[in-house]
Amino acid sequence: MKPAPEAAQSCRIDLWLWRARFAKTRSLAADMVERGAIRLTHRGVQTRLDKPSRSVHPGDDILFAQGGRLVAVRVLHLGERRGPPEEARALYLLLD
């Protein structure tokens, strides 16, 4: 059975934050989400994420605080694994 097209083009937010190296572990990424520290803009609608299982899609914007400053990124790719930093940086575009 083939996965649904929507499922193929999305992944969990905690998994994506870990793959993109914004969190050292998936548990820390999940904690960021559960604290309400992640805002996701999907199709022009911004929401504060409350569960690590929420989906992120290419083209979504993510806003969160890290190291005392706000970080805004656009999701370019979902990634297949947690790779080296160069591979992780290819997953997103920093926004001003």
- pLDDT truncated to tens, each residue of the chain (96 aa)? 544 455 569 999 999 999 999 999 999 999 999 999 999 999 999 999 999 999 999 999 999 998 889 999 999 999 999 999 999 999 999 997
Per-residue pLDDT of 78-92, as tens digits, reads 999 999 999 999 999
Amino acid at 71: V
pLDDT at 24: 95
pLDDT at 51: 95
Q: Is the pTM of this model over 0.85?
A: yes
